[in-house]
Each structure stands twice: as C-alpha cells, then as structure tokens.
Structure 1
Amino acid sequence: MNSQYFPRTAVVLFALLAFIFFIFSPAQAFAQGAGVGIVPAVIDPAKQFEPGDVAQFSIRVTNLTDGDMTYYLYKRDIVGVRDQGIPIFADSSSGTTGYELSDWITLPSDSIFIEAGKEIEVPFTMTVPQDVSPGAHFGSIAVTAEPPKLRESGAGIGYEVANIITIRIAGDAVDQARIRQFSTSKYIYGSTNVEFSARIENEGNTLISPTGPLEVINMFGERVAILTFNESKAGIFPKTSRSDGLRDFKVTWADESPGFGRYEAILSAVYGPEGKMNTISSTVTFWILPMNIITPALIVLGVLFLVIYVSVKMYVRRSMAVATSGVTRRLVRSRRQNEFPTLLVLISMLALGALFFIILLLIFA
C-alpha cells in the first residue's frame, strides 16, 4: 500500500465528516427552521377612546417552522421610532414617555402551543385607565420562542416578532406637524429622473401619517406629473426622550419623456383624524438640461458666433485696405456705404436664426 494514500484518505474523510456534522447539527437545523408570523402588524383603530373604556382585539400567530412549537407572549411599550419607521421598544433602562399602554393589555395566557404550519387566534383585552392623558399611546405584543427564564438570563436565541398598537384617547390631543425640509438631490438634472427628499417634524402628541400629492409643474405652468407622497402611510412618532419627532421621506419622479427647462415641485400632505385633517405644503425648484439637446444647441451657437466674428473681421480688414490704397476718400466712403448694409443684414439674419433655433428648442424639447 502506498504510504501517502492513507494520510490523504484520512484528511478527506475528516473533512467530509466535519461538513456533515455542520449541516445536520441541531443548532443549524433550528436556525433554518425558526420562524413565526403575527397579523395584523399594526392595530390602529380610528375610534377615539375615553378613560375607562374596555375594548376587545385579537391577533393571529402562525408557526412558520416544520415542527410543533411553544411560543411566549410579551407586552411591550414603544418609546420611539428609528429610521424607516422601525419602532424602539422600551427596556429596563428606558424612562417613561407618557405614551405607554402595555399595562392596559390583558392576555389570556403567557404562552401558546401551535402545530407546524398552523395558525391560531389570540384575543386580548384593552382597558383604558381613568387617569390616562389625552393623545396617542403606543405599545406592542411580541411573540418569541424564548422561554421566560432564558429571556431574563440573556441566553435565549434572540428571535422575536412584534406588532404595533396605537390607541387614541379623547381630549386635548394635538395634531401638529411641519415640513422642515423639502429638496431635490441635485439642482440640475440631465433627464426626468428626479429624487425628492422631505423631512417632516411631528410637533403634536399623536402619531401622524402625512400623505398626499406631489405635483411637478414645468416652466409653462403645465402639470406634468402627480406623485403620491408617503404611499405606505408610514407614521411619525411624537417627540419623546427617545424620539426627536422627525422622519425623512423620499419620492422619485421617473418619466420616459424628455424634459427641458425650469420645474417646480409642490408637496401638499394631509394628516390627522377624519374630519379634522390638517395640511402642510412646501415647494422646490430644479432644472432639467438634457445634454442631447444642450450640446447641439451650443454647437450651432458656436458656429453662428464664429461666422459673425469672421465676417466682422474680414469687413474691418477690407475697409483698412481700401483706406490705405491711395484711393480717394469719396470712393472709400462709397464702398463702405455699400458694404455696411449688406454685412448688417447678414449679422441680423444669423442672430435671428440663432434666437429662433433656441425658441424652438425651448418649445418642442
């Protein structure tokens, strides 16, 4: 037997066994199969509640794994919102914001058992306290596969999904917002592919979802596009110790037709409860100068100016030559009088042609 054959075979077998162990290890299989869904993702009733009201809601929890699972339910408060509308959940170090509601929620059980691929409905009760402050209050029901002991010790797998619950309390609720910034990514574009950015500040004590039209108007006052601002109706959390009450939005205008000249964009967004809608608006201007139009125009103008320059220069040289040739002053004056109107007509025609060409570009571009 070859002395080198056995070591090579051993290495290959060891690598194969390691690969099989990695693929079929319990941790790796669990990570691939872990999953849970919760519906609805947002509970935001239009009704305004009074202190002492009791309401019934429910969520549907789905086991997305290929095995039977026990899930655990937790009530959580929301203390702010990150970029892209991702909520910030309260933890042990979070201070109170005055917008909490997790203590209002009563769950039927702290855990639920769901068979593989199945879905169950979980009802819960919302009891509004008597001393609640007016405005919007925010909380959540989280679903996780972590048992309570592992969650408290920090040794869990860290898998969790949660919804967002918003309850409005009647009273002196303040729905107020303003557009801090409305702009385009550039001032001059080469085509009709424009990105708008808006930063809106929530100055009230309720969750707002501003939405509305974004109109684009060309230099002739014609409306060339109507876009929908905040089509997903993403919300802006009020100001708290963990939230600055600001949110950035982006809208893109993409059109296949060519554009040219100065444009104005008008943003008009509405927010607030039904019957008490408020409006905020802002405008921004920008230019579209496509090079496939600008470049030929500049070339034509350059040629026209070059022709004018050469013509004037030739006229001056000819006049100087006539003046110094010893011909009589009367003859020189006569030639100048005959040549000057012709040159003036030529220059005027070239200038008018250039102006006409520019007007055509502006109208038909």
Structure 2
Amino acid sequence: MTTRVSALARLTAALAAALLLASPTAAFAEGENAVTWSVQPSTPQGPDDRTEFDYTVAPGATISDWVAISNFSSRPATFRVHAADATTDYNTAAFTLIGADQASVDAGAWTSVDSAAAVCADTNDAAERACAAGLGVTITLEPGSRADVPFTVTVPHDATPGDHAAGIVASFQSEAVDSTGSAVSVEQRVGTRIYLRVEGALLPKLALTGLVSGYDGSWNPFGGGTGRIGFDVANTGNMRLTATPAVHLTGPFGTDFGTVTLDPVTDVLPGGVAHVEALFADVPPLMLLFADITLAAAPASGVAAAQDAAPAVLTESTVAWAVPWSLLGTIAVLGGGTGTWFWWRRRSRQLLGFELAAFAEQIRTEERINRGASAPEHESETAR
C-alpha cells in the first residue's frame, strides 16, 4: 500500500538524515537530486511504535508482518527491498548486514519480502552473487510517499534454538564520479533489524580469545609510553549477549597503572566476534607489563532477552614487554661515545709514545754518526 507523507514528516526525516547519516532508519544521497528515505516496522495502516522486529517462535512457525519504506525526497526514487543476514562487525562490534552480493543462509533466507524470492543456490560463484543482487522486490515511490510492504518469515522445522538476526533493507542505486573522473555505481542501504528467537535449549556463552599485547615507547628516554591490550570477544553460545570488558594493568613490584573499563560491546550475535582494545597512556618502560582482563556479560536488549540468564564473568591474563628502547639507545650512544673517546685518548698516548721513541732514536743515531765522523780527524792530529 502506498500513501502520502506529510511535509512536516518529510522535513523531520531530512534533518534526521543530515544529522544522523549512520542512522538505521534514514539515509541521504548527496547532490542536486538528493534522495532521503527510511525503513521502519509497520502495519497495513502504517508505521507503529516499534523500532525493530523482535519475535519468539517455535521451529516451523510462520510470521507475517509489514515494513514501511518512505521517500522523503522531492523526486521519485526506486528502491530494492530485500532481507539479509546480520552479523557482528569485527572492528567496530556493530550490528551489520552481509554484502548486497552475498546470499543469506539464516534468518535473511527465511524472510520473503512481498512473496519475492529470498534464497539463492549455494554455488559460491558469480551466479550466486548475481542472484543475491536480484533478490527481493523493486518499488518506485513518488516524492513524499510511503509504501507499506508485507513480508513473511518462514522458520524451518530444523532451525537451531536460540537467537537469529537479519535486516530488511531498502537499497538505492545512484551514479557518482570517482577520483579519476570515471563514472561508478554507488549503492546505499538503509534497513531495520529483525531479532528472532527460536524456542529450545539456550546457551549463553562468551569467550575471550586472540589476546594481543604491546607497548609503544616514547622518543623521550625518560618519558612514558602507551600500553596496548587487545582481545576478541566471541559469542560461542546461541543467544545475543552484551559484554562489558575491563583491563587492569600492573608492572613489576606491584606497580599499579589502574583499570580501564571499556564501553559495552552490545548485542554480540551468536557466532559473532568483536575486537576490543584498551590503551594505557604514560606507562613507564619497566620491561614487563601484566594485564588482567575481565568480561562481564549481560542479556542483550529485546523482548525475548529480558528473562535471559547471563554467563559467568570471564577472566584472562597476558604479559607485554615494555622495553625502554629510547633509554637503552641513549645509553648505547653515550656509552659508545665515551668508549670511543677513551680509546682515542689511549691510542693518542700510544702514538705519542711511538713518536717520542722514534725521535729519541733519531737523535741517538745522529749522535753516533757525528762521533764516527770526528774520530779519524782526531787520530790524524795525534800522529803529527
């Protein structure tokens, strides 16, 4: 169903898009023909107060729902609306979706938008990528209009218990010019989340893996450096979890550099891994640093997660070398310079001794020559 969007709503969305470009419910394509649109949960009559889709169902269940696509632009725009599997971004720990040319195999593959195809054959080749790029439905919205689009989630009878995640996406394709002046096609995607829990045995479980420690020294031989403690937060269970990491850093003889409590890693999906790093500034190079890591988990947000139990607190330890390279280098330079000076001084004395000995020998030789030259003359005078 397509309806008109009020001018006030259009202005509000445009401002939201300009201020919150990373928002999951607004997007903005720059240029004279700017396109601004949103994706949000809806009903046949229009959007409701939900911010995401959150379901708890039994294996084999079918869910029917609606999603609203709104065009807040002053020009018509065509969107491809489809579902895609969700994952946890390794570098940012953010909820993200697989690429537009990747075929879904989990909740995204279970979700059909307006009865369109949602699954591609698993061939792992160009044919699969082309299929994935064509899934879903294409809709064209007039300026200021909205389409309420039905979709169906068909949960397999053998679906694994626990949490599954996906997103319904409206993608807009436009042309742009790259740094070389060549025309390129740009696809921008805006979506809303689907959290789906399949009933059955639940296992809340996290793991601390991939510990990496290091120390970045200062050029100042007497200054402190930066201690770096990195690790991966891996969800090895079947429930979405939020984790709060903390790192306590110490040095030799009980030197305490304090504790860094990092921002919570929210909604880590089952099978997801997020990399986290703690930084400690102004740490003196004491040769060794000892880091104790704790990871406190909590249930994720959402309707189903409200009653979840959290796993026990995890702890791990690691050691980092904090070698005072600048100081050692300075000592080496000074030591080398001092040693060179002493060597040069000793060598100079030796050379001076050699020169004096040679000069003395030269004088003695000249004296012998002079005595030898005067001896015959003296003998001749004596004979007369």
TM-score when scaled to structure 1?
A: 0.50
State whether residues 110 and 153 of structure 2, in contact with CA within 8 Å, keep that contact through their aligned partners in structure 1.
no
Report the secondary structure of 1:284's partner residue: strand
> In the alignment, what sits opposite 1:283?
317
Instruction: Kindly provide the CA deviation profile for residues 183-232 of structure 1, in whole angstroms up to 9, marking residues without a partner as x.
Output: 11x36744332332213443333444433212223334354233234645
**1:166 is the counterpart of 2:195:** yes
Instruction: Kindly provide the CA deviation profile for residues 9-57 of structure 1, in whole angstroms up to 9, marking residues without a partner as x.
Output: xxxxxxxxxxxxxxxxxxx9968624544469x8475x75556596978
Q: Cα 1:69–1:174, aligned 2, differ >3 Å: closer, same or farther? A: farther
> In the alignment, what sits opposite 1:33?
34
Matching residue's letter, 2:85: I
Q: Cα 1:226–1:167, aligned 2, differ >3 Å: closer, same or farther? A: farther
State whether residues 80 and 89 of structure 1, in contact with CA within 8 Å, keep that contact through their aligned partners in structure 2.
no
Q: Cα 1:70–1:135, aligned 2, differ >3 Å: closer, same or farther? A: same
**Superposed counterparts of 1:1-365, under 5 Å:** 33-38=34-39, 43=52, 45=54, 48-50=56-58, 52=61, 61=70, 63=72, 65=73, 67-72=74-79, 74-78=81-85, 83-84=90-91, 86-89=96-99, 94=103, 96-97=105-106, 100-103=109-112, 111=139, 113=141, 115=143, 129=155, 131=157, 132-145=159-172, 158-184=187-213, 186=214, 189-190=217-218, 191-221=224-254, 223-229=256-262, 231-233=264-266, 235-238=268-271, 247-255=273-281, 257-261=282-286, 262-271=288-297, 273=299, 274-290=308-324
Matching residue's letter, 1:182: L
State whether residues 71 and 77 of structure 2, in contact with CA within 8 Å, keep that contact through their aligned partners in structure 1.
no
Report the secondary structure of 1:269's partner residue: strand
Alpha-carbon shift at residue 235 of structure 1 (Å):
2.6
Matching residue's letter, 1:213: A
Q: Cα 1:215–1:297, aligned 2, differ >3 Å: closer, same or farther? A: same
CA distance in structure 2 between the partners assigned to 1:105 and 1:136 by the alignment: 24
CA distance in structure 2 between the partners assigned to 1:228 and 1:55 by the alignment: 42
Q: CA RMSD in A?
A: 5.0
The structure where strand makes up a greater share of residues is: 2
Runs (5+) with no aligned partner, structure 2: 1-28, 42-50, 117-136, 174-184, 219-223, 300-307, 340-384
How many residues are aligned here? 253
Report the secondary structure of 1:204's partner residue: coil
Report the secondary structure of 2:232's partner residue: strand
CA distance in structure 1 between the partners assigned to 2:53 and 2:227 by the alignment: 34
CA distance in structure 2 between the partners assigned to 1:31 and 1:215 by the alignment: 52
Q: Cα 1:49–1:219, aligned 2, differ >3 Å: closer, same or farther? A: farther
Runs (5+) with no aligned partner, structure 1: 1-27, 147-155, 239-244, 307-365
CA distance in structure 2 between the partners assigned to 1:158 and 1:188 by the alignment: 40
TM-score when scaled to structure 2?
A: 0.48
Report the secondary structure of 2:243's partner residue: coil
Which of these two proteins has the greater Rg computed from alpha carbons? 2
Q: Percent identity?
A: 11
Alpha-carbon shift at residue 142 of structure 1 (Å):
0.9
> In the alignment, what sits opposite 1:324?
none
